[in-house]
Structure 1
Amino acid sequence: LLWQGLRESVPDSVVYRQGEAVTEVEETGAAGVGVRLAGGSVERYDLVVGADGYRSVVRTALCPESRPQYAGYVCWRGNFDAALLAGLGSVADSVPEAGTTVCFPGGSCVIYRIPGPDGPRVNWVLYGSPPRDGQLRLDDPTSFPPGGLTPALAGHLAALLDREFPPYWARALALTAPADTFVQPIYDMETTRTAAGRLLLAGDAASVVRPHNTSGAAKALQDATALADGWRRCGSFEEL
């Protein structure tokens, strides 16, 4: 719903392209910025705003020395059909509207309902220590998206739930299909600069806050608002 609302506000005069991966950007002075696409073609633009996340290609061009630093723990996420809770055989057969928090040594998990295409679903976000057998690369930002969870990582999560969670909630989270589970190492990052020449960074490309602060989306919207305000006040790219 959020994406649709934002997408519908983009004027028809704006070319909106999906599925075009940008592999490199290079500022070329008065000629603007060259944007290289995955297919090999290079396009020229007057200004490039890098709102391309914590693995930003634009940030690599603007300040290559600024790199995300691993924070020492990972985030597991998943969701499943809320109707499955009825089969757990417990008096605690539902997730309260306000959600549930499970805390354990070295981590925590929040569990709450979300709307789904076929009815309510249960979403959960778990912060804890990573596997210690090299299953995750922690020297460079990476993640295992939904559908990419390996059997070894699934086994690590199952063992964590069995060891640290109350039995009911361990069984509840185990209802999550591997295709609906992913894991993401947590990183911190603050860039040395967010703008130079015809390049500008916004959102997680400019700075990364840990997801349990629940401020990343607000930060990105504030950046976009500041850019729009600056654009109205300035008469040139240099002033912006």
Structure 2
Amino acid sequence: MDTEPALSQTHRSAGDTNGRTANGDVPNTAERIRLELAQAWGEMGAAWGVTPAIARVQAYLMARQQPLTEREVREALGLSHRAASLALAEAESWGIVERVAEPRRVGRRGPAGTAFLAVGDHWQWFGRVIAERKLREGDPIVAVLEQKALEAEAAAAANPGDEELAALHEWLAAFLGFVRLFDRAVGLVPQIEPRELERGLHLLGRVPDATILRLVHLLTDLEDDQVLDLVEALSRLSPKAARRATRLMSGVVRTVGR
């Protein structure tokens, strides 16, 4: 859903306000940084499959680190009421913004209104974006490819002398296999607990590129069954047994490598 057309006629993005907010005020340094970040994040949003308005709303709420009402968001970003409401609703559907009770204001009576808070755990909202993109983009294209591959297979079987159909079926089957592998890898990310994903990527970041490439090259020389059996066996160990096995394997590998 593209909320950009709903911007008001007087709308100015955070990047073209000549250093001023939507109300014409000169923002303090912290607010200027937040607005510029929101503008840059919005421009990047399209590459993630998220409309600029939604990405800007998320970035601004993340940088504010507190619940804000729809009015506070639209006034800060210069959005119309409709554009802000649509962007917040869509951000909520993506799982990157949550609806909370508006913080109590001194002297205000009656029930608290609605406010919006960005999901502060970066690993959590990243996993939610991946899951939503798989649902909206990955799953539908896999279904289309499966259907077309079946159609090409049936057509090729019904016309055994048609080389064009045979080639199309072969290509579709290979392409479907590639997309399925990629889609499965993407689908695993949301299933990993945020702290586990964080630690795994931090550990990966400490491994030199040359080491990773050597390991990948080494895997190509091993039998598939050997690698799969080892991975399956390791996955079934208890944490205590895994620590012991890791120490034993490290010693064995160092000895064999001499």
Which interval holds the TM-score relative to the shorter structure?
Answer: under 0.3
TM-score normalized with structure 1 length: 0.20
Greater C-alpha radius of gyration: 2
Higher relative contact order (CA 8 A, sep 6+): 1
TM-score normalized with structure 2 length: 0.19
